[in-house]
Structure 1
Amino acid sequence: MIAPTVPGRPVVEVVDLSAEYRTRRGVVRALDRVSLAVAPGELLAIVGESGSGKSTLSQALGRMLPRACHLVSGSVTVLGRDVAALGASEIRTLRRESLGFIPQDPIGSLDPTMRIGRQLVLALKPLGKACDPATLIALMESVKIVDPERALGLFPHEISGGMAQRVSIAMAMAREPEILIADEPTGSLDAQVREEILELIVRLTRASGATLIWVSHDLGAVRRWCERVVVMYRGRIVEDGPTDQVLIDPEHEYTRTLLAALPTTSSIPHIASALADDGKEPV
């Protein structure tokens, strides 16, 4: 079993972490002496362009790096455990009992040969969770799936991308993780569904008291939902702080470049004003 989290102690600590991809064209540095601490219950966004290292960092937390990627130096501690020092069974226990993952491609993450209900049962049973029809229906209802009984009998190719992502959220949250890692969870969804999914993730995370680590390139959504933002560039963290402070008054040139690329006339300040005007607050 994973030791319970000590109040106030970081649930994630990354210290001077460096990682490299070894390719036919040579070595590519994916992470360059990255250090990061994440507090219990924090809603943290990691942002940056493609290739900035944000996904590599999130994968390192669960020791799920691709085979081509190798850690060069540094350490990753999750819930007080040195991830690199864990044996095969211990890392599986950590992933199963304490970490939840929401993928970028929800359809691809589901078994195409198996009905949704069966996949939920297989996810819950090893944890000793109830797997009866009433429990499965309640789980589907918790992620706002209409006609849950019908949905449980469908195959992945028979559901929409938005429903598939709701199923993946249900599977992740049913584990009651202490840390939820969402890697571009709405990248393949249209704008309306994207907002609904993000609101669902944040609501469920806050209700459970879990820590959310959300990898994203959507600065407007990050401003809407997250308390703290980390900006990555070329494998390094170049800015880290409260979301409003970083996105409205950035210190690093790269952050300013990201903001300038937003499809608005004046970037984040207008987003902030719009949110204030409509009276909405993060859930």
Structure 2
Amino acid sequence: MTTPLLEIEDVVAEYRTGKRTVRALDGASLTVHRGETVGIVGESGSGKSTLGLLIGRLLPRATVFPRGRVLLDGESLLDLPTERLVGVRRERLAFVPQDPVGALDPTLRIGRQLRLALRTTDADPAALLDGVRIRDPERVLRLFPHQISGGMAQRVIVAMAMARKPDLLIADEPTAALDSQVREEVLRLLFGLAAEHGTTVLWLSHDLGGVARHCERIAVMYGGRIVEDGPTAQVLTAPQHPYTAALSAADPARAKDGTRLLTIAGTPPVLTEDEPGCVFGPRCPAATDDCATTRPESRQVEGRTVLCHHPAGAPPGPGGGPVSEPPLAKEDAR
């Protein structure tokens, strides 16, 4: 059996400043194989961005890891010396951020930044821009970041990210600042280049519709853990975890004309230490006594991994039972 490209095993990540500790990842686990396209979804504060930054060890220095491992082709990223880590970031990993203009150096022309990013390769900057469908690339190379649009800036970032044909591309809401038409164009470009180069994609997103169109697999995060992980179509059409069902029901793209948008009751948790039970329990109408006292472990249900005592597809009875309604949804009274 081939070694997975990426293995995140029971990682706990905490931000510690003074006397305050905030736990951003609470035993996160995820396995990704070569060539997969995986969407990571969840509310703000669920741990998506922390998970993405963890892979490149780009989290703040105040972050500590009480337990867990992150393996890239079997190599432990959390234990790498700085020199080796820099090489892995440069040659094997690529990142596409939310704010493309902010990610570019405002004092350098586009051409200069591309040449700096590609200084150990013989890639042609103009050809790279042409490859991401930027018209008149020679002119764009002479411009500063403030002289190009957000959509063009994101194309420049994609060109930089894909120039070395990385093994793994981590895209953190890469189209959040773009309008809908440009957003879809950039996503098609990004996933098209990834498929062409054999690059594995980890897309951190709020866009369930976009994930459904571009990702073969989806992992749903809540409270710093992956609570449901499986084929995108199956997870979104027949969710097994109550949080997945609620998230899907609250998606504006799925709302029917003339109906109020459904929302999820309560707020995401702010964790500081190990919780005795399920962190989603206070927001879950299907919660039982064991949800408050016993930490759920992953289980296989209908072709996906689910972190729940009572997944919808589990047989009824002790330790499992169906969740009937798309839960946690309530009408927005505003």
TM-score range, shorter chain: 0.7 to 0.9
Gaps of 5+ in 2: 257-334
Displacement of 1:25 in angstroms is: 7.2
Give the alignment's TM-score, normalised by structure 1: 0.87
Q: Distance in 2 between matches of 1:74 and 1:246?
A: 26
Structure having the higher helix fraction is 1
The match for 1:263 among 249, 252, 256 is: 252
- Secondary structure at the aligned position of 1:181 is classed as strand
Distance 2:233 2:255 in 1: 15
Length-normalised TM-score, structure 2: 0.74
The answer to whether the aligner puts 1:158 opposite 2:150 as a matched pair is no
Q: Which runs of 4+ in 1 moved over 4 A?
A: none
How far apart in 1 are the matches of 2:253 and 2:136? Answer: 38
From 186, 197, 203, the equivalent of 1:197 is: 186
Distance 2:89 2:246 in 1: 36
User: Residue 123 of structure 1: CA displacement?
Assistant: 0.6
CA apart distance, 1:24:
5.9
Corresponding pairs, count:
256
Residues 224, 25 of structure 1: alpha-carbon distance in 2 compared, 3 angstrom cutoff: farther
Identical aligned residues as a percent: 57
Q: Cα distance, 1:8 vs. partner?
A: 3.0
1:107 is aligned to 2:101: yes
Instruction: Tell me, in whole angstroms, the C-alpha distance in 2 between the residues paired with 1:123 and 1:265.
Output: 41
Cα distance, 1:12 vs. partner? 0.4
* Letter matched to residue 130 of structure 1: D
In structure 2, distance between residues paired with 1:262 and 1:35: 25
Task: Please tell me whether the aligned partners of residues 8 and 40 of structure 1 are also in contact (alpha carbons under 8 angstroms).
Answer: no
CA spacing shift, 1:187–1:265, aligned 2, 3 Å: closer
- Cross-structure match for 1:222: 211
1:65 corresponds to 2:54 = no
Distance 1:151 1:55 in 2: 30
Deviations 1:168-203 (A, max 9, x none): 000010021011111110111110010001000100
Which 5+ residue runs of structure 1 have no aligned equivalent? 1-6, 268-283
The residue number in structure 2 matching 1:170 is 159
Letter in 2 for 1:110: L
Partner Cα distance (1:228, 1:167) in 2: 27
Q: 1:32 aligns with which of 2, 26, 32?
A: 26
Partner deviation per Cα, 1:91-121 (whole Å, 9 max, x = no partner)? 0000000001111111111110000001110
Aligned to 2:61, the other structure's residue is in SS state: coil
How far apart, in 2, do the equivalents of 1:102 and 1:148 lie? 20
Within 5 Å, which residues of 2 pair with 1:180-191?
Answer: 180-191=169-180
- Residue deviations 1:15-69 (CA, integer Å, cap 9, x gap): 1101112246722111111111100000011111111001101111111112232
Residue 142 of structure 1, aligned match among 113, 131, 152: 131
Relative contact order higher in (CA < 8 Å, ≥ 6 apart): 1
Q: CA deviation at 1:229?
A: 0.3
* Greater gyration radius: 2
